[in-house]
């Protein structure tokens, strides 16, 4: 995707896909998990290690920096504490938080 700030490439860790597949079996989270899996199906993937997706993402940010797209408030604050940035949606707008 080309934007005014340059090229943006979305990469989804395989551990996140695994977690979404697990959540798709939960009656309460099934719909959003399946919609998210459909949305990200053509994104590039990478392997990161961690007991959970959040732990893997935080470990990656700590070592490499980067921008993480998430709506999880707790994860957002942890990413920012490590010097990473967060891409999220607010009032139908994309917001970049440092």
Number of domains in the chain: 1
Q: What is the pLDDT of residue 1?
A: 56
* Domain presence at residue 60: no
What percent of the chain is modeled with pLDDT above 90? 73
Confirm whether 93 is domain-assigned.
Answer: no
Question: For position 9, what pLDDT does the model report?
Answer: 82
Whole-number pLDDT of residue 2: 52
In a domain, 28, yes or no: yes
pTM of the entire predicted model: 0.80
Look at residue 39 and tell me if it is in a domain: yes
Domain that includes residue 26, residue range? 1-47
Write out the DSSP string of 21-73. HHHTTSTTTHHHHHHHHHHHTTSEEE----SSHHHHHHHHHHHH--EEE---H
Q: Is the pLDDT of residue 76 over 90?
A: yes
pLDDT tier at 89, thresholds 50, 70, 90 = confident
Domain annotation covers residue 41? yes
Q: What pLDDT is attached to residue 20?
A: 95
49: pLDDT strictly greater than 90? no
What stretch of H or E contains 74? helix 73-81
Residue 6 lies in a domain: yes
State the average pLDDT over residues 79-94.
90
């Amino acid at each position: 995707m080309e934007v005014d700030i340059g090229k943006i490439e979305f990469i989804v860790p395989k551990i996140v896909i695994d977690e979404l597949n697990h959540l798709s079996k939960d009656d309460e989270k099934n719909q959003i998990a399946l919609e998210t899996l459909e949305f990200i199906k053509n994104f590039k993937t990478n392997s990161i290690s961690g007991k959970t997706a959040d732990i893997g993402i935080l470990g990656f940010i700590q070592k490499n920096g980067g921008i993480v797209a998430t709506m999880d408030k707790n994860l957002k604050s942890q990413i920012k504490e490590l010097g990473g940035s967060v891409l999220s949606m607010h009032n139908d707008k994309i917001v970049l938080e440092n």
